[in-house]
Amino acid sequence: MKSLLSLTTLPFVVIGTLTGCALSTADPGDPFEDESVTEDAVTNPEAYTFFEVTKDLRKCASPGCGGWFISRLNAGTTRCHNGQNATSCYTPVLDWSTAGLDDAQQTVLLTAAQDGAVADGVKAILRGRFARTNTTPRPELGRFVIGEAWTAENAATSDGGFVRVRDNGIRCFAPPCPSFTEMWLNNDAVTNVHGMDYSAADLSDYQVDECAQALQTSDGMLTAGYRYTWVENGQVAIGRTATAVFMRLTNE
């Protein structure tokens, strides 16, 4: 039986043949964009309200410029604070009041959002909701209320679909073993997978160990990547490649 550590401390060994099969990129819509929707309305609320955030580098008078662009992950459009759909939504205000993060952790997220504005791939992820107003001279531009903040652990460019992954406690007498559960972000799709391959993420040994620890927490970790399959002991197993990994920011 392969333990979690054995699966995550060999990041450059790909198990089986990669098929390059990505999850569906169909846009199911995010039910939480309707403020009347409650967590009871979806199968897997832990996977919803995740967004990429990048710094707005346009040069014009604040608050009309200089804020942030917010884009729903795994989706072609985002419903903005005013109810309109767009590829990305501009907000002049990030509301940290419910995030529980100190100034140092907020700075980590903001630095990642700045990096994301000039680099390929996703560098910073927020979980939260749009609100219709703010306290700037342009209240009609709304704000984004942050619940969670996540940043990329690696410099490699994110590619593929975004999922939340964590250890599910399943253990087997022989491999393969579906020890991880992945949740497709902003979707109800949930699948158990048998292994993680970090080769494309170019992680250090220390970072791979961090991934192993994160997978055993209630938060788990967020990854971008693809599924692959291999055959072991006569069984077809599903794995998850990680082109990028994201850890939740906390004050601990």
Taking only the tens of pLDDT, the chain with its 252 residues reads 333 333 333 333 333 333 333 333 333 445 555 443 444 446 789 999 999 999 999 999 999 999 999 999 999 999 999 999 999 999 999 999 999 999 999 999 999 999 999 999 999 999 999 999 999 999 999 999 999 999 999 999 999 999 999 999 999 999 999 999 999 999 999 999 999 999 999 999 999 999 999 999 999 999 999 999 999 999 999 999 999 999 999 987
Looking at residue 231, its pLDDT comes to 93
Looking at residue 15, its pLDDT comes to 33
Q: Specify if 88 maps to a domain.
A: yes
pTM, rounded to two decimals: 0.84
Residue range 102-118, pLDDT digits in tens? 999 999 999 999 999 99
Q: In what order do the strands lie in the sheet with 195-197?
A: 195-197, 235-241, 227-232
81 and 175 together in one domain = no
Looking at residue 252, its pLDDT comes to 76
Q: Specify if 141 maps to a domain.
A: yes
Looking at 151, 184, 210, the residue that finishes a domain is: 151
197 and 216 together in one domain = yes
What are residue 225's phi and psi, to 5 degrees? 165, -155
115 and 171 together in one domain = no
175 and 233 together in one domain = yes
- Record the tokens describing residue 181, joined without a space: 């559960």
88 and 173 together in one domain = no
Q: Specify if 171 maps to a domain.
A: yes
Question: Alpha carbon of 62 to those of 52, 113, 138, 175: distances in Å?
Answer: 22, 18, 9, 57
137 and 171 together in one domain = no
Looking at 102, 134, 151, the residue that finishes a domain is: 151
Q: State how far the Cα of 208 lies from the Cα of 245, in Å rounded to an integer.
A: 10
Q: Specify if 38 maps to a domain.
A: no
Looking at residue 43, its pLDDT comes to 77
Q: Are 112 and 72 in contact (CB under 8 A)?
A: no
76 and 140 together in one domain = yes
Q: Specify if 34 maps to a domain.
A: no
Q: Specify if 225 maps to a domain.
A: yes
Where does 176-251 have alpha helices with state H? 205-215
Looking at residue 22, its pLDDT comes to 32
Q: Specify if 27 maps to a domain.
A: no
Q: Specify if 35 maps to a domain.
A: no
- Total domains in the chain come to 2
Looking at residue 24, its pLDDT comes to 33
146 and 166 together in one domain = no
Looking at 151, 174, 197, the residue that finishes a domain is: 151
Residue whose structure tokens are 């693809």: 226
Which residue segment(s) compose the domain that 193 sits in? 4-22+160-247
Looking at residue 31, its pLDDT comes to 52
Looking at residue 8, its pLDDT comes to 35
Question: Alpha carbon of 247 to those of 29, 85, 158, 160, 224: distances in Å?
Answer: 25, 28, 14, 17, 12
Cis geometry, peptide bond prior to residue 63 (ω within 30 degrees of 0) = yes
Q: Are 112 and 123 in contact (CB under 8 A)?
A: yes
